[in-house]
Structure 1
Amino acid sequence: MNWKTIFNPFVKFDEKKLLLAGIGSAIIVFSISYLLGYQMDSLFHFNYLDKKDSFLKSIGYTLLVYAISSLVFYIYGKIINKKTRFIDIITPVLISQCVGIFVVLLSEIPLVKNAQQEILSSTENIAPHFSPITLITTLVFSILSLTISVYGIALFYNGFKTATNMKNWYHIVVFAVLLLTLMISMQFLQ
């Protein structure tokens, strides 16, 4: 396995195997995030689960995120290349979201959780004071979270690029704008 396979498994593996892996990863992501009290509310974004939300409601939000994202990028893929298939779009959506579980798991490390709690509780102070451990922990967590998210976006981009044979720079710009718009707007659906 080389770097190209790690960042673009869509070229090497069969789409049916990738779809099954994507469905499996979506089930794992949903299960672990729900058990830890999180819910996917947008692409590459998790939010705390409301205590009154049921299991089925949480599944509904997650499926809505996947459905809207897949539909929007399928339409865009058809605009770029008429031969784009839905399976080739939904697979990168599902596969790219599996890396998000690592951010959720990182945030559950007691040191990280305590640092986040200390920062949240000190926001009421006019001149907040943090321990060096809290700042370092938050910085390392932020860098790791950003790196994991960038990897997920790279997986999604490479899968979409492979599915649509996207080559023009303006298609890439529209892809980035669509992704950013979806990431922000879907957080307001709740």
Structure 2
Amino acid sequence: MKKLLLNPFENTSETKLLFFGLALTAAGSYLAYLFNGRYDGVIDLHFTGTVTLLQPFLDNLINIACLASALFLTGKLINKKTRFIDILNPVLIARVPFYLLTLTNFNSFISDITESLLEKIDLKNMPTDIDIAPSSVLMLTLFSLLAIICIIWFVILLYNGFKIAANSKTSLHKVYFALSILAAEIISGIAISLLNY
């Protein structure tokens, strides 16, 4: 079970990984639509008032394209035999934690708490005492912890797949991997904000 959750790439065929990755991407995009989520960056998930059906699908397309391209170029730098399909599959599978995270906004739960807090906070006229319900603070804290766990899970899945695909072995390769994610995050965030669909 641990291997399935953290490293399903060793003993699963690339065809199965691609099929499941695409199916999970479609399901995750639809979940974001149902729960008003936007994947507005490679490692981003934000909840908004309304989301069209097309938005999360395009978000995912941009994020996957940016991340797969960045990691493929890095993989080629490390090992010229790196194949795009072997990079694409981990990128598809690694996004699953973000898809599960959308479920936390059932009935607009998280977005309503966040909006309520933002209405009470005025940065220009910051009050000395902000009346925030302890339950709201607790729920946002739990959500933040869950989000951190999902990001860690995402990175572990992605790195395990990348390590196999590019035959990554050294500490320098890990630095390249981290820089690739950072570059993909910046590029995808800019692309999504420029499209502003």
Same fold (TM over 0.5): yes
Question: 1:84 and 1:23, CA in 2 relative to 1: closer, same or farther beyond 3 A?
Answer: same
Match of 1:144? 146
Match status 1:35 vs 2:34: yes
* Alignment CA distance shift 1:66-1:49 (3 Å): farther
Does the CA contact (< 8 Å) of 2:101 and 2:147 recur in 1?
yes
Distance in 2, matches of 1:180 and 1:157, equals 14
| C-alpha distance in structure 2 between counterparts of 1:34 and 1:133, whole Å | 26
Partner in structure 2 of residue 133 of structure 1: 135
Aligned residues: 188
1:67 corresponds to: 65
- Residues 89 and 160, structure 1, Cα contact 8 Å, conserved in 2: yes
Aligned mates of 2:14, 2:118 — CA distance in 1: 44
Matches within 5 A, 1:99-114: 99-108=97-106, 112-114=110-112
**Amino acid across the alignment from 1:28:** A
Relative to structure 1, the CA distance from residue 111 to residue 50 in structure 2 (aligned partners, 3 Å threshold; closer, same or farther) is closer
Aligned Cα root-mean-square deviation (Å): 2.2
Aligned mates of 1:54, 1:144 — CA distance in 2 = 25
Instruction: Give how far 1:109 is off.
Output: 5.6
1:22 aligns with 2:21: yes
Q: Which runs of no fewer than 5 residues in structure 1 stay unpaired? A: none
What is the alpha-carbon distance in structure 2 between the residues aligned to residue 111 and residue 67 of structure 1?
31
- Between the two proteins, what is the percent identity of the paired residues? 28
Extract structure 1 runs of 4+ deviating beyond 4 A.
48-51, 53-58
Which letter does structure 1 place at the counterpart of 2:64?
Answer: Y
Indicate the residue corresponding to 1:4 in structure 2: 3
TM-score (normalizing by structure 2): 0.84
Check the 8 A contact 1:118/1:134 in 2, yes or no.
no
Partner of 2:119: 121
1:138-162 Cα shifts (integer Å, max 9, x gaps): 1111101110121011101111111
Tell me the TM-score normalised to structure 1 length. 0.87
Query: Aligned letter for 1:156?
Result: L
Please say if residues 73 and 89 of structure 1, whose CA atoms lie closer than 8 Å, have aligned partners that are also in contact: yes
- Runs of 5+ consecutive residues of structure 2 not aligned to the other structure: none
Q: For the residues of structure 2 that align with 1:181 and 1:72, how far apart are their CA atoms?
A: 7
Tell me the CA shift for residue 6 of structure 1.
Answer: 2.1
